[in-house]
């Protein structure tokens, strides 16, 4: 449980297996309940916190109806083999949290929690795509780079209409994930709706093991480096440090920081990145909570090793949460040029806490804002220079956004 004690920003990472979310935030210092008594204590503390944060009428939860329903099911339901009490209990808790109507507040079973943790460690199995439920529709935030989803032609913004023969909008997020995931070598068929394409697109994707390379670094013409951050995960900081050594040793004349298709990850990792790009110990993000007295200003560390290198940040509609923290701060401080397409717009904060049986509750506890107090939630970061990818660009494997970044450096010289 090392990382459940830090903040995570992500959109929903559904790598076709059950990995969850990048673009979400998890709050620091969340302690797991060690046993049933601990769980009860945690619940009471939470209720106390809420009452301190503002007017909140404490109410007792009545489970009588649930007990009566269970008794009647046991007595008369036709197929007794389907009466799995543990499954039904977890389903009840899931429904309880889902009734809030917040797609980012979710209860995860122990099995789902393990899958979630695996995703943050960069070890996945499935099709490799980050998903989001928005307005009742299953949306692709971004396919992971070099994943089966990307190779099959899945794109950011696609709506998954059907998984096999089943309508995705009739499923919960986890039901959809369960349908999409599967053993390496097996296939899943997705029916996709895409803006600008009149007919549904049907893709059959072969599931595979997926290893996410957190960072890739390439030297381009004229001592310009292209540094792509694919995910803000457990490995990003060490890989970024290695990249910094190369960039400094090679005396880079410019840096293209590419967070396209990056659905997010850990907040503290995004702050590590900003700490190398910005000068001094300055505000990286503002966290606003229900109780305004507990608002938090997150600052950079002042490491600043790359602060003097000319910078371009590439973004697209698959850039979410932690990626938007980076892009928003760079833009606010006019540290570099943000280029590409408007980002996803994920600006809420989720707290992740573990319950006694290994299940977890993720709930929205705050919103985050850029250093200039801008909210990007449901809005996104608008690039300083907009460069779109056309259908023809995708089909012919062209990258006009990277080309525009290189041209910017050439013109600047």
List active site positions.
321, 346, 350
Relative to beta strand 311-315, strand 254-258 is parallel
Q: Is 168 left (phi over 0), alpha (psi -120 to 50) or beta?
A: alpha
The closest alpha carbon to 230, from 338, 306, 147, belongs to 147
**Cα–Cα distance measured from residue 98 to residue 113, given in angstroms and rounded to the nearest whole number:** 17
3-state helix, strand, coil in the chain (%, to 5): 35, 30, 40
Q: Are 363 and 350 in contact (CB under 8 A)?
A: yes
Q: Are 50 and 37 in contact (CB under 8 A)?
A: no
The count of C-alpha atoms lying within 13 angstroms of the C-alpha of 316, restricted to the half-sphere facing its C-beta, is 23
Tokens of 117: 């943790």
Q: End-to-end distance of the chain based on CA atoms, in angstroms?
A: 49
DSSP bridge pairs for 219: 225
Secondary structure class of 217 (helix, strand, coil): strand
**Cα–Cα distance measured from residue 97 to residue 355, given in angstroms and rounded to the nearest whole number:** 14
**Cα–Cα distance measured from residue 320 to residue 328, given in angstroms and rounded to the nearest whole number:** 11
Q: Please give the sequence-ordered ranges of beta strands (E in DSSP) within 275-328, or none if there are none.
A: 283-289, 296-299, 311-315
Dihedral, CA of residue 169, residue 175, residue 178 and residue 180, to nearest 10: 0
Residues 6+ apart with CB under 8 A from 112: 18, 20, 174, 359, 360
Q: Are 27 and 348 in contact (CB under 8 A)?
A: no
CB atoms under 10 Å from CB of 249, counted, come to: 8
């Amino acid at each position: 449980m090392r990382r459940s004690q830090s903040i995570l920003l992500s959109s929903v990472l559904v790598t076709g297996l059950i990995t969850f979310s990048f673009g979400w935030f998890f709050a620091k210092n969340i302690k797991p309940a060690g046993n049933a008594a601990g769980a009860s204590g945690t619940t009471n503390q939470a209720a106390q916190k809420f009452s301190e944060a503002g007017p909140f009428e404490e109410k007792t939860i009545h489970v009588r109806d649930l007990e009566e329903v269970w008794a009647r099911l046991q007595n008369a339901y036709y197929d007794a083999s389907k009466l799995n009490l543990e499954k039904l209990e977890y389903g009840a808790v899931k429904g309880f949290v889902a009734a809030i109507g917040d797609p980012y507040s979710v209860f995860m079973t122990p099995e789902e929690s393990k899958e979630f943790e695996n995703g943050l460690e960069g070890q996945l199995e499935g099709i490799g795509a980050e998903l989001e439920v928005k307005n009742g529709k299953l949306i692709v935030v971004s396919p992971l780079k070099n994943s089966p989803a990307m190779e099959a032609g899945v794109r950011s913004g696609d709506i998954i209409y059907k998984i096999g023969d089943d309508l995705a909008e009739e499923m919960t997020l986890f039901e959809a994930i369960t349908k999409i995931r599967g053993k390496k070598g097996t296939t899943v068929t997705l029916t996709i709706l895409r803006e600008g394409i009149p007919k549904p697109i049907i893709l059959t994707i072969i599931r595979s093991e997926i290893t996410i390379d957190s960072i890739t670094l390439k030297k381009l013409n004229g001592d310009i480096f292209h540094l792509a951050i694919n995910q803000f995960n457990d490995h990003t900081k060490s890989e970024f440090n290695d990249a910094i050594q190369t960039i400094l040793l090679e005396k880079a004349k410019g840096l293209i920081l590419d967070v396209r298709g990056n659905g997010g990850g850990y907040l503290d990792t995004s702050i590590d990145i900003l700490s190398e790009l910005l000068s001094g110990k300055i505000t990286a993000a503002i966290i606003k909570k229900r109780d305004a007295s507990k608002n938090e200003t997150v600052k950079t560390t002042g490491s600043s090793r790359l602060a003097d290198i000319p910078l371009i940040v590439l973004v697209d509609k698959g850039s979410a949460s932690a990626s938007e923290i980076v892009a928003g701060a760079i833009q606010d401080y006019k540290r570099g040029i943000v280029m590409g397409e408007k980002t996803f717009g994920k600006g809420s904060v989720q707290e992740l806490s573990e319950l006694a049986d290994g299940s977890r509750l993720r709930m929205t506890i705050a919103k985050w804002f850029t250093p200039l107090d801008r909210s990007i939630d449901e809005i996104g970061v608008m690039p300083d220079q907009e460069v779109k990818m056309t259908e023809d660009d995708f089909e012919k494997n062209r990258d006009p956004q990277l080309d525009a970044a290189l041209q910017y450096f050439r013109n600047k010289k």
